[in-house]
Structure 1
Amino acid sequence: MKTKKTPSPDNNPKDGATSEKTSKNPASATAVPENHLEFFTEGAHRKDGIEVGGGFSCSDLSMRRLLAMAAVSPEGSTDPVDVALKESLRYRFRHGAPNVDIPEKDFDPPRDRRYSLARISDMKRTKTGESKQTVIVRGDLESVMNVAQPKRAQRTLLRKNAQMAGSRGYRCLGVATATVDENGELTPFQMEGFVNVRPVGTGLQDGDLTPTTEDWVRLSVWSASLRFLHWLNVLLIVLLSITGYYIMDPFFGDTFFRGIEIGYLMGIMRFIHFTAAFTWMAIGAVRVFIAFVSKDRYLRWETFWPLKKKQDWKHLYETLGFYLFLRKEGPLYVAHNPLQQLTYTSIYVLGAFQMVIGLALYALPHRNENLFWQLMALPNDWFGIQQMRLIHAAIMFIFWAFVIAHIYLAFRADSLERHGGISAMISGGVWMRRTSKPVDAPEL
């Protein structure tokens, strides 16, 4: 078949994954949505080996035609993926599956790259369509996308669907095609979609849901000391909130309004509140100290203000658009994105105000003891005691709103973005796709 030279490890500059460790199996990546078509039959081929479980078409191809393109392989191939794809193909085309066997010489396996190349002389895109000489790229989804270079919107759609199937233990075979024109020249590759595959019996077992280290890279971001301070912060904020709310409005236990002895419950609550408050201030001082002496760039004071150049503002707007569902994806960060950094900086500033107001209220009965408490009590004279208490309570409610949003976004990061949210603050590491290009770190 007369064609222009097809992509290879040496002549394909588009393939960003050629430096990665070669996969022995051309099925490398992660897969698709639960409501998509399932190719396997009930018990038809669920023995040891590979099962095919649906796919996603991003072109005009039907799912059956996409499967047919993915199944093109040498005649008599014993590769488990080739066998599984052809079995699924025979099941889908019950009244005659298209011939997808090709000579060995027309198949280039994935030796030094993460995709294979197949050349077939009579491939039809539709049942009644014209037969054309076609070159099919099949393999790791990211590598195939690097060959086909789909538009950003299409690339995002493919990744999101692949991520959904990845939660079911699937990996996905990306498929792209190019035809040979009348002059024997190869047209640009077009992304067609992907097909889901996984080992039989994978199901939803945790061990199978975790992608291999060939696809993901673990980066250590949060130190053990910072994680300890974080969880101690969580405990103290909970204690301060419960006891502070009780001091403002006793919501359990006896009160003097009932005309009975109330005991020392309020005193206990105040003691817990004050102890937690001074501990919280000590943690704040330690965090400020770390920000100036730490050699870890993710912990230093520079991270409190991420907008240092024009590009940072651009990333901020893109991140905001992503959170407002105006963009399909936002810039990728290993640590915190600009919106998160500004939010945490605002919380730190708000926390400092809360500490000052708390000290001012605590200083009321001690203002005659020494000069320090006299100075700390001055805001009460400027703004009034009740106004100070009101501001103190209002900041507490702002903290509650932040905590709720923070917990939601942390779980969202773990379950959808899969970079690590809650898990990152437990283990200290985040997971990133190999070949990712985060803004705040080198390409992985």
Structure 2
Amino acid sequence: MSTPDTPSSKATLTAETDPAGAQAAAAATATKDHGIEFFGDGSHKTRGIEVGGGFSCSDISMRRLLLMAAVSPAGSTDPVDVALKDSLRYRFKHGAPNADIPAENFDPAKERRYSLARINDMKRTKMGESKNTLIARGDLESVMNVAKPERALRTLLRKNAQMAGSRGYRCLGVATATVDENGKVSPFQMEGFVNVRPVGTGLQGDDLTPTTEDWVRLSVWSGSLRFLHWLNVLLIVTLSVTGYYIMDPFFGDTFFRGIDIGYLMGIMRFIHFTAGFTWIAIGAVRVVIAFVSKDRYLRWETFWPFKKKEDWTYLKETLGFYLFLRKESPLYVAHNPLQQLTYTSVYVMGAFQMGIGMALYALPHKNSSLFWAIMAAPNDWFGIPFMRLVHAMIMFLFWGFVIAHIYLAFRADSLERHGGISAMISGGVWMRRTSKPIDAPEL
């Protein structure tokens, strides 16, 4: 990370102010030149940009946080810089501190998503010690990645940013680091964020309907994939319930008085076999689709995550996130490496279950044709009791997967807030604008 050179002139964040008359004239000039409009809630508009408060997570006030965010080269015409400095003139009624710095003390956002501003003799409090300070300002997630706040603070920042986002605001994160006399930069400390938005994107009155200004909806799961997903859910539930009953009839006359138990078993077996053959047909269709579909998320490539060297690192980081050893995980639009491996294992396990089911079904038919004789052969190799045991154990493994799948889906949605749970109904997920997924272009 490059930092601006040592300043040749000083710009301070102290309580120094302009004379009241000069300040009023400056405000009037700004209003005339930039078309500022002020509102009762403290927000204002400048050149199409509104500044509307923010959130301080340190010991500084919102006005001082705004001052840090406003630090930029003197004479900058960037609409955000102009809006922030005009907001200072509005909030500091008795004269705003100087937020101008030399151009050589400012490193704008280019490859990264935040700028760096070098300030001399910054005072955090009125009686505090003056220090040379480096201010990072920009995309909230990017600034948090630089400052590395604790998990609780990161969550708090995101929740407050989400509330601001519901009114169309984008959050400019602010973090600071001190620079010693030798030029060594200390670790960054998160200070908070300031809200800005283009004029006209805000919501009126008490309307709290979320805006898509900071989010992008991506259509990920096609209708055919969602149909297969829910059909698989229905078939697995049906096969599990009827299969368990065939293994251990847990109700009968107690629930259905007057119905012969043997006939009830026949009904259960019929349902089980019908669902089983339907499941096999769906499996065959899925295999064909994996090779002929134009949908990238239905293709066979989605079953194997290791396409390049970095994928092993992404798998390790994802596993650490699931084990609560990491605060962040690599961002994926579709399935991350761990999910891909899990779902591939489920498909393999399902294929074994279908094969064992066919072998058990073939028992009374093995003398009728060569096909059924071949299908029933594993019973002779391993024994019927063993085949039934494995068939039952795979059923329990499926239910273990279902429980873990539901838990992890809710966990991921609560942490990443991308609508993954509803995605299997609507087909779309929500991603933060400017995010960089591993498996998709930058948003």
TM-score by length of 2: 0.69
Residue 230 of structure 1 corresponds to which residue in structure 2? 229
The answer on whether the counterparts of 1:169 and 1:202 sit within 8 Å (CA) in structure 2 is no
- SS of aligned partner of 2:218: strand
Following superposition, the deviation at residue 68 of structure 1 comes to 2.2
Distance 1:422 1:260 in 2: 41
Residue 165 of structure 1 corresponds to which residue in structure 2? 160
Following superposition, the deviation at residue 254 of structure 1 comes to 1.7
- SS of aligned partner of 2:338: helix
Following superposition, the deviation at residue 53 of structure 1 comes to 7.4
Residue 150 (structure 1) aligned with residue 150 (structure 2) = no
Distance 2:154 2:251 in 1: 51
Residue 70 of structure 1 corresponds to which residue in structure 2? 66
Q: How does 1:285-434 map to 2 (within 5 A)?
A: 285-434=284-433
Counterpart selection for 2:192 from 191, 194, 208: 194
- SS of aligned partner of 1:175: strand
Following superposition, the deviation at residue 154 of structure 1 comes to 4.0
Distance 1:137 1:272 in 2: 64
Following superposition, the deviation at residue 400 of structure 1 comes to 0.2
Distance 1:68 1:339 in 2: 44
- SS of aligned partner of 2:65: helix
Distance 2:363 2:137 in 1: 74
Number of positions where the alignment pairs a residue of Structure 1 with one of Structure 2: 378
The answer on whether the counterparts of 2:55 and 2:160 sit within 8 Å (CA) in structure 1 is no
- SS of aligned partner of 1:218: strand
Distance 2:328 2:388 in 1: 43
Change (3 A) 1:135 1:438: closer
Change (3 A) 1:277 1:100: farther
Following superposition, the deviation at residue 48 of structure 1 comes to 9.6
The answer on whether the counterparts of 1:52 and 1:85 sit within 8 Å (CA) in structure 2 is no
The answer on whether the counterparts of 2:349 and 2:394 sit within 8 Å (CA) in structure 1 is yes
- What root-mean-square deviation, in Å, do the aligned CA atoms of Structure 1 and Structure 2 show? 4.5
Distance 1:121 1:261 in 2: 90
Q: How does 1:26-105 map to 2 (within 5 A)?
A: 54-57=55-58, 62=59, 64-65=60-61, 68-70=64-66, 101-102=96-97
Following superposition, the deviation at residue 173 of structure 1 comes to 4.0
Q: Cα deviation per residue 1:105-150 (whole Å; 9 max; x = unaligned)?
A: 7899xxx9998999998752134213568786656424656xxx82
- SS of aligned partner of 1:377: helix
Q: Cα deviation per residue 1:392-430 (whole Å; 9 max; x = unaligned)?
A: 111000000000111111122222112332122222222
Residue 106 of structure 2 corresponds to which residue in structure 1? none
Distance 2:116 2:308 in 1: 44
- SS of aligned partner of 2:56: strand
The answer on whether the counterparts of 2:65 and 2:192 sit within 8 Å (CA) in structure 1 is no
The answer on whether the counterparts of 1:437 and 1:443 sit within 8 Å (CA) in structure 2 is yes
TM-score by length of 1: 0.69
Structure 2 segments unaligned to the other structure (5+ residues)? 1-6, 12-33, 35-39, 45-50, 72-81, 104-108, 197-201
The answer on whether the counterparts of 2:65 and 2:194 sit within 8 Å (CA) in structure 1 is no
Q: Cα deviation per residue 1:357-392 (whole Å; 9 max; x = unaligned)?
A: 111111112222211111111111111112111111
Q: Cα deviation per residue 1:126-184 (whole Å; 9 max; x = unaligned)?
A: 34213568786656424656xxx825x3497765443233455566442245789999x
The answer on whether the counterparts of 1:410 and 1:421 sit within 8 Å (CA) in structure 2 is yes
Residue 17 of structure 1 corresponds to which residue in structure 2? none
Q: Cα deviation per residue 1:269-306 (whole Å; 9 max; x = unaligned)?
A: 11111111111111111110011112233222122222
Q: How does 1:235-274 map to 2 (within 5 A)?
A: 235-254=234-253, 261-262=260-261, 264-274=263-273
Q: Counterpart of 1:378 in structure 2: which amino acid?
A: A
Distance 1:318 1:119 in 2: 34
Distance 1:315 1:180 in 2: 34
Q: Counterpart of 1:299 in structure 2: which amino acid?
A: L
